[in-house]
Amino acid sequence: METNLYTNDDTILCRVFPISLEGATLTWYGGLPPRSIDSFDTLIERFSVQYATSRSHCMTLAALASLRQADDESLRKFIGKFGRTVVQIRNLNTEIKLHSMLLALHPSKFVDNLCKKLPGSMDEPHERAKGYIQIEEMSKFWNEVYQVKQKCERCKANTKTYLHKSDKRHKLDKCQPLSKRPGMSVTYP
């Protein structure tokens, strides 16, 4: 039986949507965390990410099992790589996704957090990862700032505008203004 629905009311659209689902899509919908859908647009976005017809389904569990976080890979990059791999595997169980993620990540406070309280869905680790990604990126930033602000005893240059080599025997001409250093546009108060 085919029915047409002429409404733009988010509440009605969200309540009617699951009636059109069956099988794996209905199971996916039933696995969404409570109150995780705040509008029909959010539901469309989540559904499209999960079941986009243009995505390739050629990956297997072997690809997921061999996935590992590289030594120098940030959490942000790994989560992105993991997500791109997972969406290419058809009918992948949430528990297998989570287990694979835990095995692929380097031991860290993020992994400890996931192990202490196992997530109910794959949206939860992504949400938790945001905080750890922020910490990781801020830590990297402040480490760079600390290195730049170290005083150079030889040239007595202003550490707010000059970058100094860690070698104490460097020559005065080795100090570089920060504005000439690629990717460094930090200003200090």
pLDDT at position 30 is 84
CB 163 within 8 A of CB 179: no
Mean pLDDT (the chain) is 75
Q: What is the pTM of this model?
A: 0.48
**pLDDT greater at residue 55 or residue 37:** 37
Long-range contacts of 183-187 (CB under 8 A, 24+ apart): 184/144, 184/148, 186/144, 186/145, 186/148
What is d(CA 3, CA 14) in angstroms, rounded to the nearest whole number? 16
Per the listing, tokens 């009605």 go with 12
pLDDT at position 147 is 64
The pLDDT confidence band at residue 153, using thresholds 50, 70 and 90, is: very low
What are the pLDDT digits (tens) for 26-46?
888 888 888 888 888 888 888
The pLDDT confidence band at residue 6, using thresholds 50, 70 and 90, is: confident
